[in-house]
Chains A and B, each alone.
Chain A
Amino acid sequence: MATTAETTESIGLPATSEATAPWAAAFERFQQELPASEPEAVRTLRLRGLERFISLGFPTQHQEAWRLTNVSPIARGTFVRPSATTAPKPEDIAPWTFDAAARLVFVDGRFVPGLSHRDGLPAEVFAGSLAEALDRTPGEVEPFLGKLGTLAKVADTNPFVALNTAFLRDGAFLKVPRGVVIREPIHLLFLSSGEEGRTTVSFPRNLIVAGEASQVTVVETYTGTGAYFTCPVTELVSGPGAVVDHYKVQRESREAFHVAAFQVLAERNSAPSSHSISIGGGLVRNDVNAVLAGEGIDCILNGLYLAEGKQHVDNHMRVEHAAAHCSSHELYKGVLDGKARAVFDGLIFVHKGAQKTDAKQSNRNLLLSADAIANSNPRLEIFADDVKCTHGSTVGQLDDDAVFYLRSRGIGMEAARSLLTYAFASDVVGRIKVDAVRHDLEELLFARLPQGEVVRQAV
């Protein structure tokens, strides 16, 4: 470690701790692999990320934003960046794919062209690897990367965003020019594989730039096998009047850590939506930060999380109304079984001058077992005086009277409970507009719920 401390000092970094030193060392090695052709600005961005990460350190439960989520298994863990793995075969990824205008596949964070296509996209749309774009057309990327609205501020406070920034290299870069409408979804598939006895880590960095009056749907799927750590950041710019539907389907392995951030910068009259489906992972944290920066924005943030066993899933939402006449509607629902633990923290922040804001936030948790726990913390901070803001949160069990009602019609106890569980989740499921995503989720629910065949028949 002595050499590490020396090296980091030599580039003017703060002193590392026991937990951050290995990351600084890994950064040194990582930097040496990078092509010299990369723009200076990107190198600076990374270095700044590392600097912030070292200053912040891994969060502890003494910090408000991490009070209920203990990341010490990550802080104490030893991770390796994946060795060049053999790419999976097309049939290996088949269960995760669907008809899409384009599919970009990343294995352990690296783009795999052989499994990817962009057959359904107009020529003027860029959909490809961020690494490639950084090498070939850095000017397209630079104005947006790491610069979204309060992103700088968030990167300054969220160590995982800082860490991702330090190690950013590959991921998806999508650029939809002004006025282009893409009806079919673009699918980003991230596969991770824990190696024998080595826990791997990847830092996918995605940048989606939807031009003025464009329309695009993006589905991100995260999955994998074994023990690994995925730390993705996605940045979305929803240009003036753009309609952007973003889906994230988190189906990581149960041994995986998944700590992600989604940063949205919405410009005037745009309609961004985010649908976060969180099913896999052992320790999961999703931060969604949306900044409504112009007037007339209609923003939707929906989420569904299912957790069982000892899964821990934390959703932190922050919606900033920075301009007048915007609406934001959030609906997050969770179904928790076993000893699962869910955390929801949602802040609606209305800036001075953001009059006529219409903000709604709802978080509902269904506990199926006595040992499952859900914490819900809705927050409003309002600095304008002519706004309509509501929030509500519930943590509860299945309604005995509803179970009885179904049983009184001849439906068995287990099937009745499953039907009501499905019913609870159904409004979030029903709002998923991408058929393949909705269908997969329905199938997963039928497979997972006891007596799921009765549920399938009854819905």
Chain B
Amino acid sequence: MMLKIKNLHASVDGNEILRGIDLEIGAGEVHAIMGPNGSGKSTLARVLAGHEAYEVTAGEVLFEGQDLLEMDPEVRAREGVFMAFQYPVEIPGVSNTYFLKAALNAVRKHRGLPEMDAMDFLTLVRQKMKLVKMDESLLTRPVNEGFSGGEKKRNEIFHMAVLEPRLAVLDETDSGLDIDALRVVADGVNTLRQADRSFLLITHYQRLLDYIVPDFVHVLVDGRIVRSGGKELALELEAQGYASFEQEVVTA
């Protein structure tokens, strides 16, 4: 089991957002979590990545058998958890390439691998850039500074491709993307799908799942998973909207 979430409760500023999440993700699986605004989707992503603003009040999360919640965010990243941000942060003065090299070397060091030299790194970077059809000029620019919305999202997938995580959490990577950019991002993710890498896609819309076909779909409402199913569940949602699922919560 890649990821095992048991009865996870989390709050921010004293408000409980996650109210008992149970979820298991096997190696190589792609899971999608869908839900209306305010259902706790992004909170789940941030709790998994270790954002300190969120307090876990109950439950546990095991990543490859280890207690994920005990780890600092950077340790989670080095262990192989990656989160693609809904709103990637601009960092002026820090070059996208050099930053990524520092990140990759931190990951490699943690795994007992030698630092990658400049030439090998450049070869790797060129190869991964093609995955997301990223313009080479974005390499030398400061991290996300002045990037368009689509470029920022592509850059997230590019970072993911370079860091080669075991578990990738994509927090609304599809939001705000036009159909061409969405295809590019989806192609990048699909290329990275493999037997020992799992994905958790967090999205509001079914559209992304036309391009990245999930193994499982979960519906998150009011901090709980109210339905789980196969990819057809996404179509049901698309047809009926979230209202009927919100009903389920009320009656539950």
Contact = CB atoms under 8 A, between A and B. Distances in A.
B106 A412 contact: yes
A411 B93 contact: no
A454 B76 CA distance: 19
Interface string B103-134: 11111001000000000000000000000000
Given A400-B52, A405-B88, A410 B93 contact: no
Nearest to B83: A408
A420 B92 CA distance: 8
A425 to B, nearest CB: 8
Contacts of A454: 102, 106
A399 interface: yes
Contacts of A15: none
Contact of A407 (B73, B82, B88, B100): B73
B32 interface: no
Interface residues on A, range: 20 to 34
B224 interface: no
Given A410-B110, A457-B98, A423 B72 contact: no
Contact of B101 (A399, A404, A405, A458): A458
Contact of A458 (B72, B98, B107): B98
Contacts of B110: 410
A427 interface: yes
A427 B91 CA distance: 11
A411 B107 CA distance: 8
B103 A409 contact: yes
Contact of A410 (B87, B89, B107): B107
Contacts of A408: 49-50, 73-74, 76-77, 82-83, 85
Contacts of B92: 423, 426-427
Interface in A124-161: none
A353 B244 CA distance: 68
Contacts of B72: 407, 413
B159 interface: yes
A401 B171 CA distance: 14
Given A410-B78, A457-B101, A423 B163 contact: no
Contacts of B179: none
Interface in A415-434: 415-416, 419-420, 422-427, 429-430
A457 to B, nearest CB: 5
A405 B78 contact: no
B98 A405 contact: no
A409 B77 contact: yes
A427 B49 CA distance: 30
A426 B82 CA distance: 28
A402 B58 CA distance: 27
A423 B74 contact: no
Interface residues of B, number: 36
A400 B101 contact: no
B74 A427 contact: no
Contacts of B83: 408
Contacts of A402: 89, 91
A459 interface: yes
A411 B74 contact: yes
B159 to A, nearest CB: 6
B206 interface: no
A420 B91 contact: yes
Nearest to A412: B74
Contacts of B76: 408
B74 A459 contact: no
Nearest to B53: A400
Contacts of A404: 49-52, 73
B85 to A, nearest CB: 6
Interface string B133-173: 00000000010000000000000000100010000000000
Contact of A413 (B74, B89, B95): B74
B88 A458 contact: no
Given A402-B91, A412-B106, A459 B98 contact: yes
B94 A399 contact: no
Contacts of A457: 98, 101-102, 105
B94 A409 contact: no
Interface hub of B52, B83, B103 (most chain A Cβ within 10 A): B103
Interface string B15-43: 00000000000000000000000000000
Interface string B62-80: 0000000000111011100
Given A407-B50, A410-B103, A426 B89 contact: no
Interface string B205-233: 00000000000000000000000000000
Given A410-B110, A411-B106, A459 B52 contact: no
Contacts of B101: 457-458
A411 B87 CA distance: 18
A420 B98 CA distance: 14
Nearest to A399: B89
Contacts of B49: 404, 408
A411 B143 CA distance: 14
Contacts of A405: 85, 88-89, 91
Contacts of A422: 93-94
A409 B98 CA distance: 13
A409 B159 contact: yes
A410 B81 CA distance: 9
B104 to A, nearest CB: 8
Q: Which 7 pairs from chain A and chain B are nearest by CB?
A: A426-B93, A410-B77, A458-B102, A407-B73, A409-B103, A405-B89, A410-B106
Interface of A: 399-402, 404-413, 415-416, 419-420, 422-427, 429-430, 454, 457-459
Interface of B: 49-53, 72-74, 76-78, 82-83, 85, 87-89, 91-95, 98-107, 110, 142, 159, 163
28 contacts: A400-B53, A401-B87, A404-B52, A404-B73, A405-B91, A406-B91, A407-B50, A407-B72, A407-B73, A407-B74, A408-B76, A408-B77, A408-B83, A410-B74, A410-B78, A410-B107, A410-B110, A411-B74, A411-B103, A413-B72, A419-B94, A425-B93, A426-B92, A426-B93, A427-B92, A459-B93, A459-B95, A459-B98
Given A407-B74, A459-B93, 9 more contacts: A407-B50, A409-B77, A409-B99, A409-B100, A413-B74, A420-B91, A423-B142, A457-B101, A459-B98
